[in-house]
């Protein structure tokens, strides 16, 4: 059970309005970790759960510098709107496998849709910048897989990146298939973390 305080977003997701299958209402829980103040968005409906939690740019910079990235390349990742993410098939045992393909997910901002930044996109960037192979592998494995299958109650943690400046707000349109049927969801008003440098808590 998460030690989060949360509220339910007042805006409901009317999937039928977008012509999505599995039409119905879904609610997004939003809140913040009490220890850090970092915000999260948690969407659950139709037997799947998607949760996004902010990562401060400094957290991501430090994570990748510890894995061999220089300051410039670590900063490029840190300022690309990266979230800690979890996807889970919460369906019943007989509900069937869920498949996701992140190439089909879309970032929506100011009326424009664009793809996420995936493992394959980052690999091309790091090759152009002569990032060491060991560092590239560490980065790849830190991200959610581009394609993944989940049996009932399977889940996976990893980072997702959206390619937006710190402080940006966006919607995420996402999709999955279960038993060959395509479903869609949308999380609204996700906030990329600001590029701030909070002081560590003082020792008592």
How many residues can be counted in the chain? 204
At residue 69, the 3 state secondary structure works out as coil
Q: What percent of the chain has pLDDT over 90?
A: 79
Q: Name the phi and psi angles at 65, rounded to 5.
A: -65, -35
Sign of CA dihedral 193, 144, 117, 190: negative
Q: Residue 21 gets which letter from DSSP?
A: S
Who wins on pLDDT, 113 or 202?
113
Residues 149-178 have pLDDT tens digits of 999 999 999 999 999 999 999 999 999 999
pLDDT tens digits, 122-153: 999 999 999 999 999 999 999 999 999 999 99
């Amino acid at each position: 059970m998460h030690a989060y305080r949360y509220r339910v977003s007042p805006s409901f997701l009317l999937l039928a309005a977008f012509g999505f299958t599995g039409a119905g209402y879904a609610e997004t829980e939003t809140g913040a970790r009490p220890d850090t103040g970092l915000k999260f968005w948690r969407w659950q409906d139709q037997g799947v759960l998607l949760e996004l939690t902010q990562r401060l740019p400094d957290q991501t910079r430090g994570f990748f510098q510890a894995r061999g990235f220089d300051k410039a390349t670590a900063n490029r990742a840190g300022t690309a709107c990266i979230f800690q993410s979890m996807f889970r098939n919460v369906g019943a045992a007989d509900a069937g496998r869920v498949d996701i393909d992140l190439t089909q997910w879309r970032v929506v901002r100011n009326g424009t849709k664009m793809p996420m930044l995936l493992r394959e996109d980052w690999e091309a960037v790091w090759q152009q910048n002569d990032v060491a192979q060991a560092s590239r592998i560490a980065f790849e494995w830190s991200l959610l897989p581009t394609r993944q299958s989940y049996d009932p109650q399977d889940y996976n943690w990893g980072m997702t990146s959206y390619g937006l400046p710190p402080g940006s707000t966006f919607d995420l349109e996402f999709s999955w298939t279960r038993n060959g049927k395509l479903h869609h969801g949308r999380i609204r008003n996700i906030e990329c973390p600001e590029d701030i440098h909070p002081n560590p808590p003082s020792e008592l």
